[in-house]
Amino acid sequence: EGPVESKNEAAMSELVPEPRQKPVVPMKPMGINTSLLGYIGIDTIIEQMRKKTMKTGFDFNIMVVGQSGLGKSTLVNTLFKSQVSRKSSGWNREEKIPKTVEIKAIGHVIEEGGVKMKLTVIDTPGFGDQINNENCWEPIEKYINEQYEKFLKEEVNIARKKRIPDTRVHCCLYFISPTGHSLRPLDLEFMKHLSKVVNIIPVIAKADTMTLEEKTEFKQRVRKELEVNGIEFYPQKEFDEDLEDKTENDKIRQESMPFAVVGSDKEYQVNGKRVLGRKTPWGIIEVENLNHCEFALLRDFVIRTHLQDLKEVTHNIHYETYRAKRLNDNGGLPPMTVETEENHESNL
């Protein structure tokens, strides 16, 4: 981690993290026969790592942001095929729209194929629901930075835990209203402020309200507006590690983003098969059918291909940037931990 830290601290003058470079692979010495005479077992390292990580399990913290009624809770439930959002944990319809942005985090342990994941869903009820939405992203930015601060304080403790609890937000799904027109100033302001501190994945909610032509046009318009406003969403160009990554991520950036999705946790029978879908008078919209919506692409992207990368970018880029800034502001000293503050007060 040393080179990454010093590199990021050097880049702090502009507050822009440098692209991560691949370590230089030493050239093979010429003339030495590297073929093994028998089996050693180096290839079991992967299995050893797998066993270790399986024991500890994984953390993943996902935040959902957007106006009420865009289907955020339903989409998260659909994403993990279980009732994981606040709606399903005793939320009632009579609840009034909060006057200010609240932040509610709900933790779950999900297990699949022997792999345990501690999933935390962070909801932001009240975002964008007022007449005056000025600075309504501030509580969200504050929450994200508080999690970095908590991690940093644990890290600089003299007797620190072997495994620091990770509450940092790895991924923020930002829900765009399916107007078919353009992004609202609120959307642009939020993404402008937050794209520097968290991985933002923009999604167009309730995409079944648009025709195919409208959807294609709207996606292109959103991409153009984000580009014009200099908003970087995940996967960010400068963090592509190699050509393979770049090719894969370019395809996502230029074709899939923002994902036009439909969420549903209801099952229906279609041609003898149980499918997740939404029933309309003219047929059933199948959530996992790519001809109907891009939900399957979003799930593959967030969980099956980029989950580990989301965590790494959060740790190596966003958290490093926060950490370097925090230490710079503090004259290179680690921030005071909670215990030392308490001791300090008791000594006075």
Tokens 């994902």 — which residue?
259
For residue 315, the model assigns a pLDDT of 92
Predicted confidence band of residue 22 (pLDDT cuts 50, 70, 90): low
Q: Measured on CA atoms in the order 143, 146, 259, 73, is the torsion positive or negative?
A: negative
Predicted model pTM: 0.79
Beta-carbon contacts of 154 under 8 Å, excluding residues fewer than 6 positions away, are 160, 161, 164, 165
CATH architecture for the domain at 56-86+98-263+291-330: 3-Layer(aba) Sandwich (3.40)
Q: Where are the domains of the chain?
A: 56-86+98-263+291-330
In the block, residue with structure tokens 């309504």: 136
pLDDT of 148: 92
Question: Looking at per-residue confidence, does 336 or 107 come out higher?
Answer: 107
Q: Which residue has the higher pLDDT, 171 or 10?
A: 171
Q: Are 141 and 122 in contact (CB under 8 A)?
A: no
Q: Do 247 and 215 touch, CB atoms closer than 8 A?
A: no
Higher-pLDDT residue of 348, 182: 182
Q: What is the pLDDT of residues 208-255, one digit of tens each?
A: 888 888 888 888 999 999 889 988 888 888 877 778 888 888 888 888
Higher pLDDT, 318 or 329: 318
Q: Is it the case that residue 146 has pLDDT exceeding 90? A: yes
